[in-house]
Amino acid sequence: MLSAFLLSLGQLGDRKIIAVFLKSFALTVLLIALLGAGLWYAGQRGIEALGWNPDLGALVGTVALLIAFGLGWLLFRAVAVAVMGVFADDVVIAVERKHYPQALAGAHDVSIARGIGLGLRSAGRAILINLALVPVYIMLLVTGVGTALLFFLVNGWLLGNDFGQMVAARHMDDATPLFSMGRDWRKTGAVDRFALGVAGTALFMVPILNLFAPIIGAAMATHLFHKGRTA
C-alpha cells in the first residue's frame, strides 16, 4: 500500500497525468460553476414569478451562490470522481506504460460512454448512500467521533471500489456489465481495497491535496490491481 502511494506520488510529474489533472480540474470547476449559475438564475426567475420586490434580486442571487458554493464543497468528492471516470483511462495507461508494460499490451481503451457510465454510477452511489445515512450521521454526533468514523468507513469502501473499477474496465470485455467489473479488483484483498478507499477519502478532506486525490487514487488502484493479479 505504501509503495503504491509513493510510486503514484513519484509519477505526478508525468505529462500525461498533468494533462489529466488540468482537464479533470477544469471540468469539475465548470460543473460546480454551472450549478451556481443555475441556482442564481432560478432565484431571479423565482422573484419575478412571485412578484416580489426586484431589489431582492441581489440578495437572493448572493444566497444562491453561497448555497452553490456549499453544495460544491459537499459534492466535490462525488463530482471529482465522476469526472475522473471519464479521464481515468489516461492515468491508468501512464502507470501501466511505466510499470506494467505486459499488462498494457493486453489492455484496451475504455470508451467515453463506458467512462461516463462508471463516473455517473460512482457519483450517484456516493450521493444516495450518504444521503440515506444522514440521520445516522446526525445521531452519532453525540459520540464526538462516531459520525467521522462512519463517514470514513462508508466512503472508504465506496471509493476503493470506484477506483478499482476504473482500472478493471481496461482489462475486461466491453460487454461485461458495470456491476461485475470489480471481480478482478477483489483479488487485491479486502484490506488493500479498503485502505485505498480510506486514504482517498482522507485526501479529499485536505485542502489542495483534494485536487490531486482522484489522480493519486486511480494511480494507486492501478498498482494494487496488477499486484493482486500476479500474487
Name the grid cell of 184.
478482478
pLDDT tens by residue, 126-172: 889 988 998 998 899 888 888 889 988 898 888 888 888 888 888 77
Task: State the cell numbers at 56.
Answer: 431582492
Confidence bin at 13 (pLDDT 50/70/90): confident
Q: Which three cell numbers stand for residue 185?
A: 479488483
CA–CA distance, 128 with 225 (Å, rounded to integer) = 27
Q: What whole-number distance in Å separates Cα of residue 56 and Cα of residue 52?
A: 7
Residue found under cell 468528492 = 77
Residue ranges covered by each domain of the chain: 2-230
Whether pTM exceeds 0.85: no
Amino acid at site 53: N
How does pLDDT run across 64-122, given as a tens digit for each residue?
Answer: 777 776 666 667 777 788 888 788 888 889 999 999 888 888 788 888 888 888 888 88
Quote the DSSP letter at residue 206.
S
Buried b (16+ CB within 10 A) or exposed e, 191-222: ebbbbbbbbbbebbeeeeebbbbbbbbbbbbb
Instruction: Specify the pLDDT at position 186.
Output: 59
Cell 513519484 appears where? 10
